[in-house]
Amino acid sequence: MKPVIAIVGRPNVGKSTLFNRLTKSRDAIVADFAGLTRDRHYGQGQLGQREYIVIDTGGFEPDAESGIFREMAKQTRQAVAEADVVLFIVDARAGLSAQDHDIAGYLRRLGKHCLLVANKAEGMREGAQLAEFYELGLGEVVPVSAAHGQGVRSLLEAALDSLDLPEDEDAPAEDQNLIRLAVAGRPNVGKSTLINTWLGEERLVAFDLPGTTRDAITVPFERNGQRFELIDTAGLRRKGKVFEAIEKFSVVKTLQAIESANVVLLLLDATQGVTDQDAHIAGFVLDAGRAVVLAVNKWDAIDAYQRELVQRSIEARLPFLKFAELHFISARKRQGLGPLWASIARAHKAALRKMPTPQLTRLLQEAVQFQQPRRSGMYRPKLRYAHQGGVNPPIIVVHGNSLDGVTDAYKRYLEGRFRKAFDLTGTPLRIEMKSARNPYADKES
């Protein structure tokens, strides 16, 4: 699974600026005053072939007892608990503060792996100006300038190298007969109720495989001869044991469960419609390329008018999941649960679909004959042949000339033709364009 990096420190030391550097985004709001970030903020990053999750946090006051600072401290503690490595940010120009000592004391007591980072260190020598930070007792001080990007790559390499995570330890062995199913959704949509109903109906002996904070809890079970491995993001209970998190809902666990699944069951709450958090989770499922089934829970709790509003909100806010099958269920009353299994099986089958090159090429040529791509400058893109480039999600690679000019609209047109021909219900489909290299491009005229 992807390692998790948490960024902590007192207010206005540049945590969000570093977050934006590590994620190569502008997702975190940055301004020159303290206290702007209050909640945990999650992002994805990549260094070469190594991917990771970054958590940005608000200003940390470990001993805060009331008000907004207490809530911010709670958010930061959760981020530290979820992380594999903590980047403790201090301000190299402002110097050491009492609050820095408090945070360092908390991290030392926790025993979490930590790197001490002196931000805003542009132009500073690694000498007397940084010496005072060694008082914190957290080892070497890493000078960086998040605003200018100085030292950030070296910091990231040091953070990832220090983890020494086995690359393949968490990767499940490929088994075509096993469906790894993640139940995802925001808090209180009924994930635990649905899981308990499933297990109760099938009268299965389930066992948990608890790991570290990085690991999701998995429950193997079988239904009508089909083996499943349920990846639970809600925290299952076993007789005599209760696994508790600092917070009921862990974003990191949800993201990692989605990454490791074959199929994701995205659960929505009929009483609240589609929220921003639902859309964010759905977007991550799509980015991860996972097959998906949509289920609207608590359908029995709303009237006909509200049901129409919910359906409209799904169409408006989740148009990028039109390929997914939609179900309306009540986990508590066990209504509509049977058809879910058929959709999950279809989505899994579609995600692993084999598409022969001759058939793909024939479909491509038929699509071009029916509707050619628009001209791009002086040339019209020429699509010559296609082959499959991967599964889960299925990837179709199209070869030809001048394919940089193929529009997104034309790619959606091709996607529709391929989906219909191969019955790719429930899975994302990625189409990649590869233009033939001009053999005369490097020759002088």
CATH code at position 120: 3.40.50.300
Determine the pLDDT at residue 202: 41
Q: Give yes or no: residues 277 and 367 share one domain.
A: no
Q: Give yes or no: residues 330 and 239 share one domain.
A: yes
Domain boundary among 163, 191, 226: 163
| Weakest-pLDDT range from 73-87, 257-271, 340-354 | 73-87
Assess if residue 172 is contained within a domain. no
Is 80 exceeded by the pLDDT of residue 148?
Answer: yes
Burial 104-143 (b: 16+ CB within 10 A, else e): bebbeeeebebbbbbbbbbeeeeeebbeebeebebeebbb
Is 50 exceeded by the pLDDT of residue 445?
Answer: no
Q: Give yes or no: residues 200 and 313 share one domain.
A: yes
Q: Give yes or no: residues 418 and 390 share one domain.
A: yes
Q: Give yes or no: residues 130 and 247 share one domain.
A: no
Report residue 266's pLDDT band, with 50, 70 and 90 as the boundaries: very high
Q: What amino acid is encoded at 243 in this protein?
A: F
Report residue 39's pLDDT band, with 50, 70 and 90 as the boundaries: low
Assess if residue 67 is contained within a domain. yes
Q: Give yes or no: residues 129 and 237 share one domain.
A: no
Assess if residue 201 is contained within a domain. yes
> DSSP secondary-structure letter at 1?
-
The span from the CA of 361 to the CA of 366, in Å, is: 9
Q: How far is CA 313 from the centre of its chain?
A: 23
The helix/strand/coil state of 217 is strand
**pTM of the complete model beyond 0.75:** no
Determine the pLDDT at residue 244: 39
Report residue 127's pLDDT band, with 50, 70 and 90 as the boundaries: low
Determine the pLDDT at residue 37: 41
> DSSP secondary-structure letter at 310?
H
Determine the pLDDT at residue 296: 94
Distances (CA, A) of 404 to 178, 254, 379: 39, 36, 11
Domain boundary among 324, 350, 376: 350
Q: Give yes or no: residues 279 and 211 share one domain.
A: yes
Task: Return the structure tokens found at 146.
Answer: 């998040």
Determine the pLDDT at residue 201: 46
Assess if residue 171 is contained within a domain. no
Assess if residue 440 is contained within a domain. no
Q: Give yes or no: residues 214 and 268 share one domain.
A: yes
Report residue 121's pLDDT band, with 50, 70 and 90 as the boundaries: confident
First vs last C-alpha separation in the chain? 51
More confident residue, 44 or 180: 180
| Weakest-pLDDT range from 48-52, 151-155, 346-350, 366-370 | 48-52
Is 60 exceeded by the pLDDT of residue 246?
Answer: no
Q: Give yes or no: residues 188 and 149 share one domain.
A: no
Determine the pLDDT at residue 308: 93
The span from the CA of 128 to the CA of 95, in Å, is: 11
Q: Give yes or no: residues 276 and 367 share one domain.
A: no
The span from the CA of 118 to the CA of 374, in Å, is: 53
CATH number at 413 reads 3.30.300.20
More confident residue, 293 or 138: 293
Q: Give yes or no: residues 87 and 144 share one domain.
A: yes
Smallest Cα–Cα separation from 185: which of 254, 93, 97?
254
Span 147-151, mean pLDDT? 88
Distances (CA, A) of 441 to 343, 436, 437, 444, 445: 49, 11, 8, 8, 10
The span from the CA of 78 to the CA of 234, in Å, is: 15
Q: What amino acid is encoded at 103 in this protein?
A: I
Q: Give yes or no: residues 129 and 264 share one domain.
A: no
Q: For a pLDDT cut of 70, what percent of the chain falls above it?
A: 79
Domain boundary among 163, 195, 217: 163
Is 60 exceeded by the pLDDT of residue 238?
Answer: no
Q: Which residue range is the domain that position 376 belongs to?
A: 357-435
More confident residue, 432 or 162: 432
Determine the pLDDT at residue 206: 37
HSE-CB at 66 with a 13 A cutoff on CA atoms is 0
Rg (CA), the chain: 25
What is the number of domains present in the chain? 3
| Weakest-pLDDT range from 113-127, 138-152, 301-315, 431-445 | 431-445
Report residue 245's pLDDT band, with 50, 70 and 90 as the boundaries: very low
Average pLDDT value over all residues in the chain: 80
